[in-house]
Amino acid sequence: MAAVEQEGAYSNLLLNQVLKQANLTPADTGLATELVYGTIARQKTLDYYLESYVAKGLAKLQPWVRSLLRLSLYQILYLDRVPDHAAVSEAVNIAKRKGHQGISGMVNGVLRNILRNRDKLTIPDSLPAAERIALMHSHPEWLVQRWIEQYGEQEAEAMCRANNEAPPVSVRVNTTMISRNKLIQEMQEEGLVVEPSLLSDDGIIVKSGGNMALTDWYKEGMLSVQDESSMLVAGAVDPKPGMTVLDCCAAPGGKTSHMGEKMEDRGRIIANDIHPHKVELIHRQAERLGLASIETVCHDALDLASNYKEASFDRILLDAPCSGFGVIRRKPDLRWTKSPEDVEAISTLQYELLSRVSKLLKPGGTLVYSTCTTEHAENGGVVERFLKENDQFAPAGHLSLREELRHSAILDEYGIQILPHQFHSDGFYIARLTRVETS
């Protein structure tokens, strides 16, 4: 965690690397994962409580000592499986091994003092809304303030709360191989607790069943691990058998392969990404799922109009690079690494991408613009600007949702915004555009 804070390391990559070397049991691996992600997620709240008990202030501590205190306090406040005395004892032992007697004594004193005053660890209700929510749910105050302005105080707090909850496991059925009902039946016969997704007709929620990527169903290509909101994108594209489809920023290939399944593997999908190693991920995904219709290419999406003829695709998906604020619960450190300037910069790139790839759409075709963020500037703002400056394009109508779900999502003139607390899925924006046919 010190590496994540000090060097900007990605928590998921670093954790996976450490866990591979540690050779832990599945239970210990789960605990270690929860400790790391949970501590990073709750960092602001933990620091607020610790600051009153560290005499010289948290900022003056060595990074590893600061991380050790956060990790230990997280166990005390948020985990039931580790007794308080064990958390303190382990923290003191680590401090002795990595530091010296003075550090271990300080760690012991801070944690035991907190335990004695545990009932005093509260966030004042009298604070301004953005500050209170930011401290209570551990988010940057600037981001909470933006969400309050965009969605209101109640929605903003619900978003922050949802970002600290573990995401459910959801899988997508490869309907070229098996029906959803049949796969659900097989899973239940194997003792898994599953239920059909309410958001996607191709989705299954796995309540208990372990790592789905290690199952025979996964290895044999019958399913893919994918969030429910993400599954909606292929439905919005609505590709038909025999069509020619372009996926501009396709890695790691989940939406690409879903489109291939919806096309019954008949037609042609050009799956592009700028990074060769990510293109290989898409290729391996297509092979695992038995989808021969997917052709992988490696270009900068800004240059795709130079590689293909104008008006040559029936469908285009631009799942644009974005701030990622809709997937904070999966990437807890993301909340601490982004800034308001990042939102502005990425929205400029998104607009440029949309403007360039749109030239490749046939008249009467459908272009879907999607992101996994909650920022209006990156979503409706980009689409609105594009339509104002490109009169040959128009909204193509909203993606189809069940009526009861449609009432919960947020619809603007161009697309649909799903917030992370509404369906316990990732935050996503999906807009459908069409190129107007001229006589």
Q: How far apart are CA 32 and CA 192, in angstroms?
A: 24
251 annotated ligand-binding residue: yes
DSSP letters spanning 313-367: EEEEEEE-----GGGTTTSTTHHHH--HHHHHHHHHHHHHHHHHHGGGEEEEEEE
Q: DSSP assignment, residue 55?
A: T
Residue range 97-129, pLDDT digits in tens: 998 888 999 999 999 999 999 999 999 999 999
32, 73, 67: which is closest to 49 by C-alpha?
Answer: 73
Residues 54-77, mean pLDDT to the nearest whole number: 95
pLDDT band at 3 (very low <50, low <70, confident <90, very high): low
Q: Are 375 and 405 in contact (CB under 8 A)?
A: no
Q: Report the candidate in 175, 216, 426 with the shortest Cα–Cα distance to residue 319.
A: 426
* Mean pLDDT score across all residues of the chain: 92
Is 160 among the annotated ligand-binding positions? Answer: no
Please tell me which residue in 160, 248, 322, 372 is annotated as part of the active site: 372
Q: Which residues pair with 245 in a beta bridge?
A: 269, 315
Neighbouring-strand partners of residue 318: 369
What band does 8 get if pLDDT is binned at 50, 70 and 90?
Answer: very low
Give the model's confidence band at 10: pLDDT under 50 very low, under 70 low, under 90 confident, else very high. very low
List C-alpha distances in Å: 282 to 5, 34, 126, 274, 289. 31, 29, 50, 12, 11
Question: How far, in whole angstroms, is CA 395 from its chain's centroid?
Answer: 26
Task: With H, G, I as helix, E, B as strand and everything else as coil, classify residue 1.
Answer: coil
388 is in an annotated binding site: no
Find out whether 255 is annotated in a ligand binding site: yes
Asked if residue 229 lies in contact with residue 427, where contact means CB atoms within 8 angstroms, the answer is yes
- 66 vs 437 pLDDT, higher one: 66
Does the annotation mark 322 as catalytic?
Answer: no
- pLDDT tens for 355-402 read 999 999 999 999 999 999 999 999 999 999 999 999 999 999 888 877
- Residue 13 has what pLDDT? 55
- Ranges assigned E (strand) in 191-267: 193-196, 203-208, 223-225, 244-247
Helix axes 63-78, 101-116, angle to 10 degrees: 30
Q: Which of 79-83, 163-167, 312-316, 435-439 has the highest mean pLDDT?
A: 312-316
Q: Report CA-CA distances (Å) from 426 to 77, 104, 165, 320.
A: 26, 41, 11, 15
pLDDT of 23-56, one tens digit each? 667 777 778 889 999 999 999 999 999 999 999 8
Helix (H, G, I), strand (E, B) or coil at 57: coil
Query: Is 319 assigned to a binding site?
Result: yes
| Nearest CA-CA partner of 399 in 236, 255, 228 | 236
172-186, 302-316, 378-392, 425-439 — which is least confidently predicted? 425-439
385, 354 contact by CB (below 8 A): no
- Helix H or strand E encompassing 434: strand 428-435
